[in-house]
């Protein structure tokens, strides 16, 4: 669970997103940071027994800096007014699928899969789908999976209009092969975060995404096995 004080801090930061206010409220930020790390630790304790690939993760591997990268953004607000938890076996320069928790008033959600892979990784995922699409179809068509997370988003950013180069338009999994991003999500109310069973409840939902993550990571590591 997360304290009400941490949620109020995020609300206040969103309203006062400037360096002067932040420095004046540095003590509140330090308390928020401790609460944030405590929440991440609770998710690690809950998820590691369910997914052995997360065993080596530490809290520092799963958090995000509060400072925004504003170099290429029109929005010059210096700080993030949301909280994110990222659980993945990937390392720096070595992307992997994983589990994500996003905490933001009016826009909180849990998610999993492989978000917007780079070109080389996307090629690997498409190759895996082309040869083993039945495995992926079984995962995303599972009744419990569909009930909790629906299916992959399909929009201009996440899906091609035409088949990717090198793939026949008649391929039985062509709609999956057109995807450029492979994540699913479920929204939740921010009031749930202060409940004692928040971490355990969300972890039981997140672990439903393990087969999807395993499929994606299998595609990414297939060449490493030879």
Instruction: Say if pTM beats, i.e. exceeds, 0.75.
Output: yes
Give the number of domains in the chain: 1
Does the pLDDT of residue 46 top 50, yes or no? Answer: yes
Q: What distance in Å separates the CA atoms of residue 89 and residue 46, rounded to the nearest whole number? A: 16
Domain ranges, residue 184: 4-225
Q: For a pLDDT cut of 90, what percent of the chain falls above it? A: 87
Q: How confident is the model at residue 56 (pLDDT cuts 50, 70, 90)?
A: very high
Q: Give the lowest-confidence range in 46-60, 88-102, 115-129.
A: 88-102
Taking 70 as the threshold, does the pLDDT of residue 224 lie above it? no
pLDDT at 29 over 90: yes
> Among residues 40, 216, 7, which one has the least CA distance to residue 112?
216
> CA-CA distance, 77 to 179, in Å (whole number)?
32
- Residues 6 or more apart whose Cβ sits within 8 Å of residue 21: 13
Q: Tell me: the pLDDT tens digits for 127-186?
A: 999 999 999 999 999 999 999 999 998 888 889 999 999 999 999 999 999 999 999 999
Q: Which residues pair with 79 in a beta bridge?
A: 67
CATH code, domain with 41: 3.30.930
| Stretch 202-213: mean pLDDT | 98
Task: State mean pLDDT over 114-125.
Answer: 96
The tokens describing 49, both together, are 């027994």
How many Å is the Cα radius of gyration of the chain? 19
The mean pLDDT value for 41-65 works out to 96
Q: How confident is the model at residue 91 (pLDDT cuts 50, 70, 90)?
A: low
Contact 2, 193 (CB under 8 A): yes
CA separation for the pair 124, 6 (Å, rounded): 40
């Amino acid at each position: 669970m997360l304290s009400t004080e941490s949620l109020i801090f995020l609300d206040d930061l969103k309203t006062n997103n400037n360096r002067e206010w932040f420095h004046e409220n540095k003590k509140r930020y330090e308390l928020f940071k401790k609460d944030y790390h405590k929440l991440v630790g609770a998710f690690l304790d809950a998820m590691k027994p369910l997914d052995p690939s997360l065993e080596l993760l530490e809290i520092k591997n799963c958090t995000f800096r509060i400072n925004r990268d504003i170099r290429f953004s029109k929005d010059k607000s210096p700080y993030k007014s949301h909280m994110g938890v990222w659980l993945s076996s990937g390392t720096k320069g070595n992307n992997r699928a994983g589990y994500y928790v996003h905490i933001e008033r009016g826009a909180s959600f849990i998610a999993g899969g492989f978000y917007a892979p780079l070109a080389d990784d996307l090629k690997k995922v498409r190759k895996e789908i082309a040869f083993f699409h039945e495995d992926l179809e079984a995962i995303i068509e599972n009744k419990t999976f569909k009930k909790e997370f629906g299916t992959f988003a399909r929009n201009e950013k996440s899906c091609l209009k035409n088949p990717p180069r090198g793939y026949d338009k008649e391929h039985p999994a062509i709609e999956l092969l057109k995807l450029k991003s492979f994540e699913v999500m479920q929204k939740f109310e921010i009031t749930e975060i202060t409940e004692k069973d928040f971490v355990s409840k969300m972890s039981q939902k997140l672990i439903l995404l393990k087969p999807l993550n395993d499929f994606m990571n299998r595609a990414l590591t297939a060449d490493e096995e030879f």
